[in-house]
Every structure is written in structure tokens, then in C-alpha cells.
A and B are shown apart, each in its own frame.
Chain A
């Protein structure tokens, strides 16, 4: 039982990141009808927003190290610490959560620029061409990041308050073996909030209503005198923000490097397909389900019976789903079924 709960928990945080990326991907596909292979790159860009903010916050000055007396030693002290003392240290400590504030405008801008600058020329073209051009864009983005931040992963510690592990087992009466890092718990919570925010935005605002109407029938909405193009551009920006934020918060879990996006892209596409092309709920459900499934497959007991299953389980599920139920778990009938 303990092991079971632990695996579910382990799966949830990974599932959370899949769900967030897949959500953005589906949003774009559902509204614009564009297959965006550069979406993983957006996740990666979000992660590097955090890296950038951390770098900015820790711009340092060389200060004489007083503790060493017999020769002149210098140590690097961030300006923030010099100016604000303890408060400065705390700000640096919270670099990752603070990056959210930076990432929202940056990712929104990147998203809007991408849609206006490139994607909108591809609405009328085939899916193959959309895949190709966004694939090219993904390569470009990741190489630019590589040029600025190098090829090595950048470690990003979570705030000190959240570094330890939560003793979930004791809290729900299962014994001490179920422990779970605080940060992952935070991530899970965060993913939940973002997903809820996106859904309520679409469900309860006028803007969201128009967008949903546009997803159903773009032409009619256009005929009603609504500038649906502009709404969809904004939706693209929002999708970019969602996957960017997923990237920001993921940095303490996996140190980001430039091909982080590509690794996630393939998986999140699989998630979208399993969930059903164009179905937001499906994307989220499939994200969590596949995350959990993957963490069960990497249990030693399972691996003994089926060696290597943890490596391929997600793809295997996708293959089966595509063959048995091509519209995915919750896809609408008739949408991209052939």
C-alpha cells in the first residue's frame, strides 16, 4: 500500500508537467488548428527565464573576505545582499517562484511574436508543413539558448523552506516510508492552480466564451463581427505562458538544459494524442494518467517481469490508443480521426 501511494505521488508531479504542456498544445491545436512542434521549446524557454532571473539577482561584487586575515582574500557577494542584507538573501533564495513574475510577460510576448511572425502564415497549409516549420523554429530556439547559457544543465535549487521532504505517510496514517519532496508537492499544487485557472478563464469569462465558440465554428463567430483572429493570437500567448510557467517551476526538479524541450515535446505530443486532439480535459487527464503509469512501470517489481517497460510504456499506450480509439480518451467524434 505504501509503495502504491508513493508511486501515485511520484507519477503526479511528472504528470503535472505533462498535463501543463499538453494543455497548451491542445489549446493551440483546438483554436488555431496548428500542430506546434516548437511547444517543447516554449517549456524550455520558461525554464531559462528562471535561470536568467537567478543570474540577474546574483550579480555580484567582489568584497574583501574578513574571515581570512593573513592575506587579502575576496569573495563574491551579490549586490542584493549588500544593499538589503537578510532580505536580499531571502529574495535570492526565492528566485524560482519569483521567476513566475518575469516569465508571464516574457512568455506572453514570445508567444504573441511567434504567432504574428510565423504561425499565422501556416493556418492554411498542411499539417506536415506546420510540423516542419515549427520543428525548424524549435531547433533555432534551442540553439540560441545553447549559445547563451551553454550546453550543461544549470542547477536551480528550490527555496530553502521547501527543500526537504514531506512525511505524507504519517499525515494520512500509512507509516513513515511514504515521503515526498516538498517542492514536488508545490509543483503539483501549482499545476492544479494553473489548470483550474485556464479552465475557469475559458468557462466563466466572455473572452473564454468567444474562444470556445471560435473553437466550435470559427466562421460563424467571425460573421458575428468578432475579431476572432485577435482572440486566437491571445490564446496562443496564453498557451505559451502556461507551458513557460510549467518550465519555470520544473527547474528545481530537473536542472534545465537546452534540449529539455525536445525531451518533453515528444512525450507531450503523445499525451495530447492519448487524451484526444483538441480536447482540453483529455489532455489534462491523459497527462496525469500517463505520468502515474510511467512511475508504476519504473517500479522494480514490474521491471523484473517486463524489462525495459518503463522506457516504452507511454509510447506503447499511445500506439494502442491510436489503433483502438483514434480520437483518444476524450476527443470529440470526428475530429482528426482518420
Chain B
């Protein structure tokens, strides 16, 4: 186990910040450095970091986190419509509303644990999704999705005398337009802040308490501890992260639809966290990035591209290879995702971070053997990295 020290944390934080801020540069060679995708990296990174605070620390598997994402989106769009095109109130209100939602849902759901908790959160998320489509249409605009329009009141904007000259004004952060790279940097900075907060939580006594709940909740209650305030706090924090992610989605593209609340969307964030590494700090961000990147690449490939790739093969083999592979790309990207997911759960429950740690310790072991001190450092038993 790599022990965490304040110095290492500082180093990690520094590297993380640097890596995120320079993403447009070092992602350019693999064709991922355009703003739209970068924004998604950051937004889903936030979503996964938040989800990990709940699932990674307490072990409570929520299948309803997409509901908070949706609530955040709707709130942000309403804030654009009613108050101002500035992103500051939108983000603040988005986080607060989804936090309130999380208090209510969490208060009820956390009365149960294990699979019951999963089903309760799932039930709540499905309820919100169904309601958003049917009764709440005045608020959510149903299937069309909530959109901005030219004659929205925008009370704060008109108060300070900003009136749109032509068309719907863009979302802005004190005058900076939130599209393209400026949008990405806004999301990225929020993600860095979010990462820092999550790191502080991981290292705090509160985080330790949550981990104790995960490893043996019976024992915790025998010692006379009431776990619910702790788990509820974790739930609300992670709901607020989801709300932040949702409102950022609305910031970069001012539109909110109910499909964001569907339970498959909740499944996606679970997947990101698992893929990266549950309970690790950096894992969820990596998982979110990898999934969004490959989603982007794989969905773009179609049969023509495949024929191009396998051009060197004889005709029959080429057709065969294309026929098989085309199942996995383009429309069939979810198939790849599902398989990847199963493989990870079966063979690498600790996710990619565990994979890296294993490789790292194997290399170290080999070096040690060469130096004649075999097996003294780096045991085969690898704890999920910190």
C-alpha cells in the first residue's frame, strides 16, 4: 500500500492540475483535443469523482445518480431563463437544488443498505424520469427538452441593462463566452476544485469513518455509532457533484432533457468508476476519460472506415473481419462497453488503477529479484491504490 503523506498529496494535486490544464496539448496526437470532447471529459470526471465519494468510500451502490444530474441540468437552464445568462447563479442553484434532492432521497434510501439501497435509488430515479416525461411537463418541457428562447425574462440581465441584440445570448462567465476552450477551462477548473475537495474528504477523519462503514458496518453500529449522518452526508455531497456536472452540461449546451435521468445513465457513471478504480482518488477521472474517449472514437467508425483498415487482407477475410468488427463499433459501441464492463468486473475488480499497481509492483519485484532480495518488498497482494 502506498501511504499517503501531505507531500505526496501535494505532488499528486500538482500533477493532476497540470495534466488537466494541458489536456488540449497532450491529447492532440490522439485526436481528442477539441473543446466539445474535452468539456465532456471534465463534466463526466466531476460526475464520477462525486459518485466515487459515495460508492468508493461507503460501498453504497446507487443506481439513481442520473436523477441528480438531470435536476442540476434543469435548474441551470431555468436559471438561464429566469435570472441571467451568467453561469455563476446557474451552477450555484444547480448544486443547491440537487443537494436538496439528495437530502430527501438519501434520507429515505439510506434506511436500507446493500441491494435494497440500490433498488430504492433506482426506484427514485425512475420516478423522477417518469414524472419529468409526464406530469412535470410545464417544468421540464417533456420530450422536447427544456430550451432557451428569445423572450425569456432573464431578470438579472435586464436589471443591469444587458439586452440581447440578436438571437439568444450565449452563456457567459463575467463576459467570457462559455463555448469552446473557455467552456472547457471553466469545467476543468471546477473539476480540479472538485478533485481537491474529494482528496480532502478521503484524507479526513470523516472519510476514514465512511471507509469504516464500508469495511464492517455491523461492527460500527455495535460500537454505538450512528452511521446514518455520515452516509447521508456522503450521499448529499455526491449528489451535489452530480448536480454540478448536470449544470455544467447545461452551461456548455443550454438544453436539458429527461433522458439524462434514465437509469442507463446512472449505469454509465457506475461503469466509469469501476473501470477506473473504485475507492481510488484518480480512478474515476481516468475511467470517465477513457469511456468518453472511446465512445467518441468507436461511434465514429463505420463500415467504410473498417474496410479501409483491413484493406490489406484478401477480399473474403476482409469482409469477414468487417462483418464481425462492425458489431462493435458505430451503433454497436454499447456492446463493446458492456463487454469491457464484464471483463473488468470479472478480472480486475479494482479497475485500471489496480492494473497499473499490479504492473508496477511486478516490475519492482523483478528488479528486486535481480538485486538478490526477492520478495522482500511489494507483495503480490495489492491493495487498491490510494
Q: With A127-B114, A311-B135 in contact, do A140 and B338 touch (Cβ < 8 Å)? A: yes
Q: Which of A62-70, A164-172, A215-223, A265-273 contacts B (4 or more CB under 8 A)?
A: A265-273
Interface residues on B, range: 35 or more
Contacts of B114 in A (CB 8 A): 127-128, 336, 338
Is residue B335 within 8 Å, beta carbon to beta carbon, of the partner chain? yes
Q: Quick check: B61 and A128 within 8 Å, CB to CB?
A: yes
Contacts of A27 in B (CB 8 A): none
**Majority SS of interface residues in chain B?**
helix
- Closest partner residue, chain A, to B61 (CB atom): A128
Q: Which of A4-12, A201-209, A319-327 contacts B (4 or more CB under 8 A)?
A: A319-327
Is residue A83 within 8 Å, beta carbon to beta carbon, of the partner chain? no
Contacts of B245 in A (CB 8 A): none
Separation in Å of the B237 CB from the closest CB of chain A?
A: 20
Is residue A315 within 8 Å, beta carbon to beta carbon, of the partner chain? yes
Q: With A266-B122, A308-B134 in contact, do A273 and B116 touch (Cβ < 8 Å)? A: yes
Q: With A132-B345, A323-B111 in contact, do A143 and B119 touch (Cβ < 8 Å)? A: no
Is residue A318 within 8 Å, beta carbon to beta carbon, of the partner chain? yes
Is residue B208 within 8 Å, beta carbon to beta carbon, of the partner chain? no
Q: With A128-B61, A139-B334, A338-B114 in contact, do A133 and B346 touch (Cβ < 8 Å)? A: yes
Q: Quick check: A147 and B332 within 8 Å, CB to CB?
A: yes
What total count of A-B pairs have CB within 8 Å?
Answer: 113
Contact of B113 among A129, A262, A316, A338 (CB under 8 A): A338
Q: Quick check: A127 and B327 within 8 Å, CB to CB?
A: no
Q: Quick check: B127 and A326 within 8 Å, CB to CB?
A: no
Contact of A139 among B59, B115, B122, B338 (CB under 8 A): B338
Contacts of B118 in A (CB 8 A): 128, 131
Is residue A121 within 8 Å, beta carbon to beta carbon, of the partner chain? yes
Cα A283 to Cα B111 in complex, Å, equals 23
Separation in Å of the B331 CB from the closest CB of chain A?
A: 8
Is residue B342 within 8 Å, beta carbon to beta carbon, of the partner chain? yes
- Closest partner residue, chain B, to A270 (CB atom): B123
Q: Quick check: B131 and A136 within 8 Å, CB to CB?
A: no
Contacts of B335 in A (CB 8 A): 139-140, 143-144, 147
Residues on B close to A: CB < 8 A?
A: 59, 61, 63, 108, 111-116, 118-120, 122-124, 126-127, 130-131, 133-136, 263-264, 267, 270, 274, 327, 331-332, 334-335, 337-339, 341-342, 345-346, 349
Please give 14 more A-B residue pairs, beta carbons under 8 A apart, in addition to A129-B345, A143-B332, A266-B263: A128-B59, A133-B345, A133-B346, A136-B339, A139-B337, A140-B342, A270-B119, A273-B116, A308-B130, A308-B136, A311-B134, A315-B127, A318-B119, A338-B116
